Structure 1
Amino acid sequence: MRGTFLRNLYKSVRLASLGQMVSNTLISGLLYFEKGGALMALTDPVTVLPGVGPKREAGLASLGIHTIRDLLFYFPYRYDDLKVKDLAEAADQEKLTVKGIVVTDPVISRFGPHRSRVNVKLQIERSVILVTFFNQPWLKDRFQMGDEAAIFGKWDAKRRSLTGMKILATQSQDQPSMAAIYTVNKNVRMGTLLDLIKAAWERDQQNINDLVPASIREHYRLMSDAQLVHGMHFPDTPAEAKAARRTGVFREFFLFQLQIQALKQLNANSSNGLAIPYDNQALRALIATLPFALTNAQKRVVNEICADMRRPNHMNRLLQGDVGSGKTVVAAIVLYAAVTAGFQAALMVPTEVLAEQHFAKLTKLFKDFPVKLGLLTGSTSTKKRRELLSELRDGRLNLIIGTHALIQKGVDFHALGLVVIDEQHRFGVNQRKILQEKGQKPDLLSMTATPIPRTLAITAYGEMDVSTIDELPAGRKPIATMWLRKNQIDQVYRIIREQVQSGSQVFAITPLIAESEKIDLQNAEQLFVDMQKAVGNLGPVALLHGQMKPDEKDQIMRAFSDGKIAVLVSTTVVEVGVDIPNATVMAIFDADRFGLSQLHQLRGRVGRGQKAAQCLLIADPKNEQGIARMEIMTKTNDGFLLAQKDLEMRGSGDIFGDKQSGLPEFKVADPVGDFPTLEAAQKIVAQIFKTDPHLLQSDHQPLAAYLAESRQMLGSLD
């Protein structure tokens, strides 16, 4: 099996047509394997352990555990303190350990299929307490009258009883002081997992070699990998568990950064990209026609992106900027840069309405310049589509704007040099990859209007270079934000009526949560009815929600964009990028159900024209965090500040939503709480690649082996 693995890796190196850096790194890792590097010993499947058959193997796989290494490094998320506690000091519902003498025979009773309880009484000093175990009938045989037993469970102070969770010891057993608690599921019991971890430890503890170089471990006072595994799973003291977690956090960030920066090295390889020698004078001429001066931030990011395009390296850059900071203008300039160098460029956006808006704006911007534009969406007629595809293939069309239609079969380019993806988090990794593969490794610029704190930039976008527009154009009016309670709804409707009467348009947003779509749809429909009554004959009110067909949604958004709808009642399916300059009010109902970043994105849909705009937050928060979110929204329009606060309040996994975050799942580390360690790991790994880019030094060869064996790394090289 190991020989096959080595042959496949050698084959990957030969066939991938990589640059010298990556080839040398992988070969260095393979040589380390051949010399007997113990990293390979831990790649044995879990089936080598006694008792792991096909069913148990599948259960472990559901936890992401496939190899011995996966098992040994599947760390607990917390520990229970197993030290015996005096009941006089115990709080109600506290989890604790008690030790006493069994004074009754255990009694088992059943109350339904697979439901049972075992009751037994313990004498603890002068008290007798009842201990109950639910749905563990086999524990009946663990108790004998007169024996001493230690039991961990939840204490009910009023009933003077304990709901038992586990039996910890009897008279003949040593009692540990801490118990590791793991994330498990219905396929794997906690006890089974721990038994397998112990078996793997006994089998392979001598094969656990260090990945973090000794000099770094010494400098930061970190454990060896073997000490880490023991300290995480079987700590003798809280101090050992704490030291192990500290080491585990650094090690996890260090290996993550190793993979990320290896990918950056791959992108930096000059044989892996395009040089785009754009015409600087042509760009200056385009910029001179703009009806406004670029901000200093816009000038800076244009220079950063254009410098990347000139290099023969493959560009993989993220452009982030707050709502209204002028990302579209920057995109237009760099798209034109690619065209002046004789390449084609593509702009992909998530919706047809947004594609049409971009097409209209860019057509106007390029009317006096040698740019032939095309628009390709799902609504493009068969005849027009055939014409566009022909012009793309022979190079007559040099700039295409479109939706997912751009990545369909049959869309071929003559010389695609630059891909720009707007609202990039709306597209999956595979969708972005398909568009890139339609050219010879074209440069990639992703754009997002969700400001990203440095914490997330390092984790979610670590392999990308990040350009930030941190300055709003002059004259951009801040959006006044008010927080109103639900008993102030009459005031909300009064403001909306006034704005509609003055000829302005209004967004009215109600939340949508996946677990209760029917309830939320009813909420949206009720709000639609209430809004119709409130607005009366002042203007048309429309309803938009996620259960509508795409054509229906596009039709409503077009009507709203054209000014034919006065108030749009919508769930959050309202597209973030759509530009409605005449919209002056964003009313967000149940605003406490949104995170700060989402509230800020919704607020940014208004205030895009010459009129003053306002955001109304209607909410009765039920906790301090909800109140804090409402208060900070009324105090600042700074998206970067709000994104950082959102991160602190909700954690990294919730910022973009579970389905589209793309954030790595760390087992031990917390990118927010452990951010200083994340930064330190990033700098250390960058220095390693700077001084030893091929990881050929003896203390770096285990790192090369780790990259060679890593499925993540190999997947990126295919």
Structure 2
Amino acid sequence: MRSLTDSVTKLKGVGPKRVADLATLGIDTIEDLLTYYPTRYNDFTPTDITSAKDKQKITLQGIVVSEPLLTHYGYRRNRLSFRMQIGREVIVVTFFNQPYIKKQVTLNQQVTVMGKWDATRRQITANKLIKEQADQQNEFGAVYSVNKHIRQSVLQSFIRQAYEEYGNIIPTYLPRALRQRYRLMDRRQMIKEIHFPQTQMTAKAARRTAAYEEFFLFQLRLQAIRRAHRQEDGNRILYHNDELKEFIANLPFELTDAQKKVVNEICRDMRQPYQMNRLLQGDVGSGKTVVAAIAIYAAVTAGYQAALMAPTEILAAQHAEKLSRVFAGTHVHVALLTGALTVKQHQSLIAAMKRGDVNLIIGTHALIQDDVEYANLGLVITDEQHRFGVNQRQRLREKGDHPDVLAMTATPIPRTLAITNYGEMDVSVIDQMPAGRKPIQTQWLKSNQHAEAIHFLREQLEKGAQAYVVSALIEESTALDVQNATDLFQQLSADLQPDYKVGLLHGRMENDEKDKTMQQFKAGKIQVLVATTVVEVGVDNPNATIMVIFDADRFGLAQLHQLRGRVGRGDRQSYCLLIADPKTDEGKARMKTMVATNDGFKVAEQDLKLRGSGDVLGKKQSGMPEFKVGDPIADLKMLQIARADAGNLLATPNWDNIDENQPLVLYLQRHELETHFD
């Protein structure tokens, strides 16, 4: 019995080598092959030569009226030319470095060529030849993303064979009512028209159907996960409200309105009988840690333990230090579990955790090691959660019995991405900075203004300030013409010492060495810290008011904003100097955005426009889905509609018992494991 999950080996001509070749494109099954959609289309419809514009890419069809002439010049370079008659005009067709085409050109035969038109010389520099119109399956040809292992023609032949042999078992996922409402194709027709369209119009209609289907299926999976969470037995964390109010009242500052709002959202979730699954996002310095502390205190008053997982030992240690101060004099007992502990310290701490002697455990991935057991884990918090893999976050959840989950990120996520990437989570946003925070003044300097930057740095150091100086690289690179941390350290040491102490921090240093350098910087023994992006997340020194970033155009906007957020944490005015000579319009736009705004959400929206959804958080870190056709930025309205439609379907009583929805039910069952907790 045939199935779309069949291996591609079922196709004629697919042996072990072809299996390996197709695997390099992520194609293992028939379904992979059928849903390996074209990136673009070649339009073989002949262009009217009288209206063709100079330098335009066009398709011309005519009769060959001269023998092809092949000329060799230079090393392995050649030019093939012949004349072609189109109506009453004769033009010159030229191919470069494609000598094999000579055998395909025959006098008095009709051919079609594609290439760039030179209106002045009345000639075309061609890159593709179609010998006869009959050779074209149609006038509109699909073009796929391929690599050195497999050619376009080979891939196309396998896709055609797969469709011919399996097309009749392609299920339609979208309910009839939605297809009729939006004038969409059934899935079998969509796959046919997306690969073998007759016209540009049918290709466009097929891609529109494919984009909506992708969004709908993705949102259906996310919302099914969310509903599953709510149906699971969670812990009703019945915290002591009066104790919690007293704890908040004793904080040394008043919560902002935004903080109060998200605290209420989190506390309301914790009292519910289902598992909380909430994302807390807020700009650098907006006060997420205090909100997390309130949630922790609530869990502890109800008799539960809380665990906070951070991506680096530096950040974990800082959380432990900060929260120890916040919880001083309370019944919250804080412990730090990282890989830096000795075997004896590690064993002693996990025994205390198992007994319940400590009720707040802060650490790195050490929190999820096999030998770590908790007495009564009720609340799990992940900081900078997109830096953890799906499996790591899941393992921490499994350390307790359906603990409430709070994921925090200081990477501002535009609404587009929040809808797309965190559809299964409730989202809380702190969109307000604490009172008294002065906006960081940002300036963009060219590299020839290096001396001005050093002069400004020295002026600020004389006033008692401390500074970060960030480089893109640790050591000199022959491939990139950028400043590196080691060189900068030596340059600044020569410029500023002995008046000011300069330190160096990068990811290749031993943990003890990194900790020592950070402690010296925080204690004021180091005035200027030269670093790589190891300082991007979590390094906290309120006295640091200067951030200098060399080769700033090498960084994305989100990363630049994170780095800038390392300063501006005290009462003094802070500054960020971007030193860059961007060569591209995008690079210049990034610098202008940083100068124009301190608002992380505006920065993120601009980053989204400049770079697209896939790169904003980093595909590998964020888990951002890579849609094959849909674009969550350009097609945001479609994404929102698909989200609402998916929610409405799941809310329909007994939707999963309706015959036409059975392909969807099977789809969800098949994808349950891979989507759970994404």
* Superposed pair shares fold, TM > 0.5: yes
Other-structure match for 1:70: 32
Conservation of the 8 A alpha-carbon contact between 2:473 and 2:483:
no
State the match for 1:99 in structure 2: 61
Greater Cα shift, 338-347 or 407-416:
407-416
- Residue 676 of structure 2 corresponds to 716
Deviation at 1:171, TM superposition (A): 6.2
Q: Which one of the candidate residues 332, 340, 358 is aligned to 1:397?
A: 358
Distance 1:434 1:479 in 2: 39
SS of 2:399 mapped into structure 1:
coil
Cα distance change of structure 1 residues 513 and 448 upon mapping to structure 2, 3 Å threshold: farther
Residues 516 and 665 of structure 1, relative CA distance in 2, 3 Å threshold: farther
Deviations 1:673-717 (A, max 9, x none): 10010011011111111123662223322211211233x546639
Deviations 1:586-620 (A, max 9, x none): 11222223222222111111011121111112223
Q: Which moved more, 1:340-349 or 1:427-436?
A: 427-436
2:57 partner amino acid: K
2:427 paired residue among 441, 455, 466: 466
Which one-letter code corresponds to 1:332 in the other structure?
A
Q: What is the rounded CA distance, in whole Å, between the counterparts of 2:668 and 2:646 in structure 1?
A: 13
**For residue 144 of structure 2, what is the amino acid of its counterpart?**
Y
1:490 aligns with 2:443: no
Q: How does 1:54-203 map to 2 (within 5 A)?
A: 54-85=16-47, 94-103=56-65, 119=80, 121-125=82-86, 126-127=89-90, 129-132=92-95, 134=97, 137=100, 139=101, 141-154=103-116, 164-170=126-132, 173=135, 176-203=138-165
Are the aligned partners of 2:305 and 2:378 in contact in 1 as well (CA < 8 Å)?
Answer: yes
Deviation at 1:669, TM superposition (A): 0.5
1:322 positional shift: 0.8
Are the counterparts in 2 of residues 374 and 401 from structure 1 also a CA contact under 8 Å?
yes
CA contact (8 A) 1:707 1:713 kept: no
Range that drifts further, 672-681 or 154-163: 154-163
Counterpart of 1:220 in structure 2 is 182
- CA distance in structure 2 between the aligned counterparts of 1:708 and 1:515, rounded to whole angstroms: 51
Tell me, yes or no, if the aligned pair for 2:387 and 2:622 is still in contact at 8 Å.
Answer: no
Map of 2:203 onto structure 1: 241
| 1:650 corresponds to 2:600 | no
The equivalent position to 1:289 in structure 2, one of 240, 243, 250, is: 250
Deviations 1:559-583 (A, max 9, x none): 2223221111222222411111000
Cα deviation digits, residues 517-574 of structure 1 (max 9, x gap): 8747853333223322332432111222344344433332232223221111222222
Query: TM-score, structure 2 length as denominator?
Result: 0.92
Question: Are the aligned partners of 1:542 and 1:568 in contact in 2 as well (CA < 8 Å)?
Answer: yes
Give distance in 2, aligned partners of 1:384 and 1:453: 43
Change over 3 Å in CA distance of 1:157–1:51 after alignment to 2: farther
Kindly report which structure 2 residues correspond to 1:456-605, keeping only aligned pairs within 5 A, or say none: 456-512=417-473, 519=480, 523-605=484-566
Task: Give secondary structure in 1 for the equivalent of 2:32.
Answer: helix
- Matched position secondary structure for 2:639: helix
Q: How does 1:203-218 map to 2 (within 5 A)?
A: 203-218=165-180
Going from structure 1 to structure 2, the CA distance change for 1:511 and 1:335 (only over 3 Å counts) comes to same
Alignment match, 1:20? none
Verify: 1:385 aligned to 2:346, yes or no. yes
Measured at CA, do residues 210 and 643 of structure 1 come closer, stay the same or move farther in structure 2, by a change above 3 Å?
same
Q: In the alignment, residue 229 of structure 1 is paired with which amino acid?
A: I
1:318 matched to 2:279? The reply is yes
Amino acid corresponding to residue 648 of structure 1 in structure 2: K
Moved more, 553-562 or 682-691: 553-562
Unaligned runs of 5+ in 2: none
Report SS of the residue matched to 1:554.
helix
One-letter code of the match for 2:250?
T
Counterpart CA distance in 2 for 1:610 and 1:521 is: 33
Q: Residue 105 of structure 2 contacts residue 131 of structure 2 at CA under 8 Å; is this kept in 1?
A: no
> What is the DSSP-based 3-state SS (H/G/I as helix, E as strand, rest coil) of the residue aligned with 2:303?
coil
1:412 paired to 2:412: no
Distance between the aligned counterparts of 1:219 and 1:515, measured in 2?
59
Could you say which residue in structure 2 is the equivalent of 1:617?
578
* 2:536–2:562 CA contact under 8 A, matched in 1: no
How far apart, CA to CA, are the structure 2 residues paired with 1:707 and 1:69? Answer: 16
Whole-angstrom distance in 2 between the partners of 1:315 and 1:111: 70
Shift of 1:304: 1.4
- In structure 1, the partner of 2:631 is 670
C-alpha deviations, 1:615-646, integer Å up to 9, x for none? 11222333333333222322221111111111
CA distance in 2, matches of 1:97, 1:84: 5
Deviation at 1:185, TM superposition (A): 1.6
What letter matches 1:51 in structure 2?
G
Shift of 1:397: 1.4
For 1:254-265, list aligned pairs within 5 A: 254-265=216-227
Distance 2:216 2:625 in 1: 13
Match of 1:351 among 309, 312, 330: 312
Aligned pair count reads: 676
Identical counterparts, % of pairs? 52
Counterparts of 2:400 and 2:48, CA distance in 1: 71
What is the identity, as a one-letter code, of the residue corresponding to 1:170? E
Could you tell me how far apart the structure 1 residues matched to 2:175 and 2:102 are?
51
Q: d(CA) in 2 for partners of 1:288 and 1:254? A: 46
TM-score by length of 1: 0.87
Q: Is the 8 A contact 2:19 2:28 kept in 1?
A: yes
Match of residue 276, structure 1, among 234, 237, 246? 237
Deviates most, 554-563 or 291-300: 554-563
Q: Secondary structure at the match of 1:586?
A: strand
Deviations 1:387-420 (A, max 9, x none): 2111011111111111222222322111111111
Amino acid aligned to 1:640: F
Q: 1:131: Cα distance to partner?
A: 3.7
Q: Structure 1 pair 171/415, CA: closer, same or farther in 2 (3 Å)?
A: closer
- Does structure 2 conserve the Cα–Cα contact (< 8 Å) formed by 1:543 and 1:570? yes
Report the alpha carbon displacement of residue 155 of structure 1 after superposing the two structures with TM: 5.1
Higher relative contact order (CA 8 A, sep 6+): 1
CA offsets per residue over residues 28-58 of structure 1, 9 Å max, x none?
xxxxxxxxxxxx7433332222212222122
Equivalent-residue separation in structure 2 for 1:42 and 1:380 (angstroms) = 51
- Determine the structure 2 residue equivalent to 1:34: none
Verify the 8 A CA contact 1:116 1:136 in the aligned structure 2. no
Aligned position for 1:23: none
The answer as to whether partners of 1:521 and 1:545 remain within 8 angstroms in 2 is no
Q: Conserved in 2, the CA contact under 8 Å of 1:511 and 1:520?
A: no
Once residues 135 and 612 of structure 1 are traced to their aligned partners in structure 2, the CA distance between those partners, rounded to angstroms, is 63
Structure 1 gaps of 5+ residues are: 3-39
RMSD: 2.9
Closer, same or farther in 2 for the Cα pair 1:375/1:172, shift >3 Å?
Answer: closer
Question: Quick one: distance in 1 between partners of 2:628 and 2:650?
Answer: 25
SS of alignment partner, residue 660 of structure 1: helix
Give the partner amino acid of 1:205.
Answer: G
Contact 2:47–2:58 at 8 Å: present in 1 too? yes
The answer to whether the Cα contact below 8 Å between 1:116 and 1:135 also exists between their aligned partners in 2 is no
Would you say the 8 A contact 1:320–1:447 is kept in 2? yes
